[in-house]
A and B are shown apart, each in its own frame.
Chain A
Amino acid sequence: MTAEVIQERLKPIVKPYVNNQENFNNLSLKSNFIQDLEINSANLVDIVLDVEDEFDIRIENNDMEKMTNVEATVEVIQNLLAKK
């Protein structure tokens, strides 16, 4: 799956937890979940669980730790999909 496709599927997952709508409208690979989108850190866990369901993958803690921005998250998903 290409990075673009993954990013598109990630958007609706992230959306309900976003507190900065303007930055979400200008979402890029560099967007940081906490600083830019102002997502509550307790909701990062929800994003990880929702990503697992959406892509049917299991995310371990060493991968979860990197998932602080769009680019790293797309990369984690892409790597896990490749291993399936």
Chain B
Amino acid sequence: MIGNDIVDLRLAAKASNIFRRGYLQKICSSKEVKYIETADESYLAFWRIWTMKESAYKAFQRLHKFEPIFNPFAFDCDPQDSKHGNVLFQGESVSTLSIFNEFYMYSEVFSPDCQQRFFGSTSAFLMYLKNRLSLKEMPHFEKSKLGVPYLYTTQRNFNVSKTHHGHFQVFQY
């Protein structure tokens, strides 16, 4: 299970008005709305919930191979503390890890097999992997028919989740 999501907080502040009437209710359960509204920083709390939902969506779509959907409401978030949380989707649950600072909010689905993350450009990531795994050739990104990314080399394929927003890009692998 891999899935990750990052939000560039300065870009998001310009691009989305999360406090417009009806906005939160389209995405969040009443429990999640309460979590956001009672948080010290509601704005950060919203993007925490949002990135938890998106990372879980990516993980479940990769696992169950369903067509892309847009239904963040169906992913029920339960933050445990400022980093750890759980997301429930159709009776299945995943754990998430969230990292944030003043510039970004990032969440990823906890996966025992893919605990590494790389912040940076695609070319830097591919070069790094090539050297680290002593690959003979540069790996490159492919997408499955459903739009799920993976890394292709002639030797083997790798599951990689990729997220990009504004100034930030992260790979989980």
Interface size on B, residues (CB 8 A): 23
> Does B120 belong to the interface (CB within 8 Å)?
no
* A67 to B17 alpha-carbon distance, docked (Å): 20
Is the CB–CB distance between A35 and B26 below 8 Å?
no
Question: When each residue 33-64 of chain A gets 1 if its CB lies under 8 Å from chain B and 0 otherwise, what string results?
Answer: 01100001111111011001000000001101
Which size class do A's interface residues fall under? Answer: 10 to 19
Question: When each residue 6-25 of chain B gets 1 if its CB lies under 8 Å from chain A and 0 otherwise, what string results?
Answer: 01000010011110111100
Of the candidates A34, A41, A45, A66, which one forms a contact with B26 in the assembled complex, judged by CB atoms under 8 Å apart?
A45
Of the candidates A35, A40, A61, which one forms a contact with B73 in the assembled complex, judged by CB atoms under 8 Å apart?
A61
**Which A residues are closer than 8 A to B by beta carbons?**
34-35, 40-46, 48-49, 52, 61-62, 64-68
- What are 7 residue pairs bridging A and B, where the CB atoms are less than 8 Å apart in the complex? A46-B20, A52-B22, A64-B73, A65-B69, A65-B70, A66-B69, A68-B68
